[in-house]
Amino acid sequence: MKKMIITAAIFLSCIAYKQAEAQISLSINIGSQPEWGPVGYDHADYYYMPDIDTYYDVPAHQYVYLENNAWVRRSYLPARYRNYNLYNGYKVVINERNPWERNNVYRTKYSNYRGRTGQVIIRDSRDAKYRNHWVGTKEHIIHRKAIKNDRKEIKHDIKRLKHDRKHGH
């Protein structure tokens, strides 16, 4: 009887171990998400912005967009998007590796989101999980550019930052 109980205990332990191994691990990156990111996501790898057909790599804090028929990563948007408002434009969360490799799928799937506004963003959220969110994304980008001595881009961003603050963005 003792051997049967020990055998059953070992068997049940093995089953419990296999079930624990199969559990899905979730990571949270709320603090990495920019203040203009959409609310409701504890984790986001990328944002796709249908208005400008561009991705934002949340963990790396970089934009991924087409430039001369090649996907490039930059800490800033190109001059052609200088009038794009990150706070008002619609963002789609994509948790897939290198989503731009399937850009035709995303462009087609989210084409009806172009021009859509009204998405609640982290900066405007009253949810307690966003309270400690760092509210300095634009300043952070400007600081990174300053390190690179990219004066032209810095002047453009400072001008844009002043404009956004003046108009409550």
Q: What is the DSSP string of 111-132?
A: GGGTT-----BGGG---GGGTT
- Closest C-alpha among 55, 29, 62, 35 to residue 121: 35
For residue 4, the one-letter residue type is M
* Straight-line distance from the first to the last Cα atom of the chain, in angstroms, rounded to the nearest whole number: 73
- Closest C-alpha among 144, 133, 141 to residue 160: 141
Structure tokens at 123: 């900066």
Q: Parallel, antiparallel, or unpaired for β 46-49 and 70-74?
A: unpaired
Residue numbers of the chain with a pLDDT score lower than 50: 8, 11-12, 14-26, 134-135, 143, 147
Q: pTM for the complete prediction?
A: 0.62
Rounded to whole angstroms, the Cα distance separating 15 from 57 reads 39
Predicted confidence at residue 23, as pLDDT, reads 42
Predicted confidence at residue 53, as pLDDT, reads 97
Name the helix (H) or strand (E) containing 46. Answer: strand 46-49
Predicted confidence at residue 159, as pLDDT, reads 77
- What 3-state class would DSSP assign to 29? coil
Q: What are phi and psi of 38, to 5 degrees?
A: -70, 150
Rounded to whole angstroms, the Cα distance separating 169 from 158 reads 14
Residue 140 contacts residue 61 (beta carbons within 8 Å): yes
Rounded to whole angstroms, the Cα distance separating 38 from 57 reads 14
